[in-house]
Structure 1
Amino acid sequence: MRWLLTALLVIWCSAANAIPVRIKDLVDFDGVRGNDLVGYGLVVGLDGTGDGLRNAPFTEEMLAGLLERLGTNVSDDAMRSKNVAAVIVTATLPPFARSGSRIDVNVSTIGDAKSLLGGTLVMTPLKAADGNIYAVAQGSIIAGGVSVSGEAARVVEGVPTGGTIPVGARVEREVEFDFGEVRNIRLALRNADFTTAMRVEDAINREFSKPIAVAQDSGTVLVEFRNLGEVNPARVVGRIENLLIEPEDRAKVVIDHKAGTIVMGERVRISRVAVSQGNLTLKVSEAPLVSQPNPFAHGETVTVPRSSANVTEEPGIGFAEVAGNTSLSQLVEGLNALGVRPRDMIDILKSIHAAGALHADLVVQ
């Protein structure tokens, strides 16, 4: 079975010797965020790998509209091109993006096009959730795959129906946000924790020698600029985001059942518990016997089924007692010494958690 060959990877995340982390890597600043953009456009210049216009009428309609706007009127019967594909274009407008700046875009087919290799995106407006156009995309597509086909076979490497255009869109409209008028800002912790929020508050107040920060809850720290007098908010945030703190973490065990990977935190503890585990293997084999009549005799060939079944119980680890307040590293070290296999170790950890002896959040993917 595949899981027998799967390597077990155990990673201990040490919290005792925590490494200081910048506040900017732990929080998001309220209001300082990107905006998602989306558009619908055409890719031209494909080498016969575009949409079949009869199977994708939206591509045909859009191509006819594009040619009409360019002063060319083409009847439906004259459209037989396979070098055009309809696509969805997505991008993220970064915070404080100004008119004329460039952003990256992603391009994905929505019809039956086989590849975007060598294609060029025609001018495509990109809209935000409010319906306004904030950017316009155009340029050559860099696709991430290869597609080769013949009369009776086709080989696809990667995903050639999607690609990117680096700096392929130009910002045409700015998001109105005057950061200089901000009088307070909230810091949203990406991993909510009361201890981490308290440490962020203490670090900010210590840096400015004034109580300008207050932890409102486990995921939010409010910073009041008015307590500093007349200041530039951008300079204050620049000082805050580079402060170093030691983030707190929850005891957690993450199990990837398919890959046989276990990631564990150093803070995980196990109460006193006894563990017993064994394996039962059932093997059934077929060895049919063919019976034939003698030459020139009346009769027919008959296949006689012959089956053999064998049940083997492999020796388990018996009852192994785990002492109280055992660290996870000690438990894994002991299980490895007993020759416990990856799948078995995952099952043991799940059973210990079900028994209430594993003091950690168990996440099974």
Structure 2
Amino acid sequence: MTLLHSPTLDAPEKSDLTLGFLPLMDCAPLVIAKEKGFFSEVGLNVQLSREGSWASIRDKVMLGLLDGAQMLAGIPLASTLGLGSPRIPMVTAFSIGLNGNAITLSRELLAEIDELGHHPSDSSAAGLKQLIAYRQASGRPKITLAMVYTYSAHSYLLRYWLSAAGIDPDNDINLTVVPPPQMAVTMKKGLIDGYCAGEPWNSVAQEMGIGSPVISGYQIWNNCPDKVFAVLESWHDAHPATHQALICALIQASNWLDMPQNSEEALNILLGHAYLGPALSMLSHPQLKQGNRLFFRYAASYPWRSHALWFLEQMQHSQQLKEETDLQQVACQVYRPDLYRSVASKMKLSHPTIDFKPEGFHDNEWVLQGSAGAVTMGSDLFFNGGTFEPNRL
């Protein structure tokens, strides 16, 4: 893997930008684009603003206090639909990698499951289902599990995992929202029994001795999407060249991050106090690639409309989306692979030429015909053998 071609782009309409991020491993493309000069190479002067919650990032982008941000993939979809916030359309033309999440259960909960005869290393939720039934029969309180945001990959992966074992996420347990940096301390206080979150917060719980990851997002869905870089649709319309420059810089940063020789330097940059310092300082051996995280390989930065459609269908299955909605129309409005392809072509980067792809059919690497040769893709199996094949437009 080598550095990509630096194209000649139109001058950005706005060069001084403020972008938001949360202290998670996958803020790395934004951090590296700034610290390694990829933003400045395309004429952008970027300041990164560390935020405390996903709701804060969503609201600040909506209010124009942030030009764009690292976001959960569900945020621009939910905002465009008016779910949990005013109906304000957003777009994404860049996926911030694959994988990186895990489900962590508390030490006490794992001990209870073990007492019922289920080994804690069992990655299914079968033991949890038995414990739920036992607690119900004995009149004990429901188990409480947290996710980072209602409309997030974490929420849908957690629901998918629970449902596969016959657990009703809306009735058999309590589901609550906790910002990622507060997950471990909230579990330590006994306020939640487990959570689904991105790294480093699963590793932090393990280092603190208060819980252990039982299954990773990768195990639930091989090479599952998680975060995106998103802006308001109106912001894109007013700043198309600036948006193009941002996409170019983020592609360069993601490619740089997936070069093995850069891992140590990237970690040292992320360890800076302004980024992930306080969280990573708690870990004995922090790793950038925890949870099978990829930033560039397997077209990890490509904004697949089929991924958007999967999230939208999960919203529908969870009864979060109550009104009749054309899911494909929303997926195509919010996810803009056409913008990605425009930039990738100028960078002479071979990229997918389709917007939708099936999931759950490949147990190993496979090849997709790209714009300038083959694009190698990764496995995409669901842990329960499920498949997802979106209808083509």
TM exceeding 0.5: no
Name the TM-score, length of structure 2 as normaliser: 0.20
Q: Higher strand proportion, which one?
A: 1
Name the TM-score, length of structure 1 as normaliser: 0.21
User: Whose radius of gyration is greater, 1 or 2?
Assistant: 1
Q: Which has the higher contact order (CA 8 A, sep 6+)?
A: 2
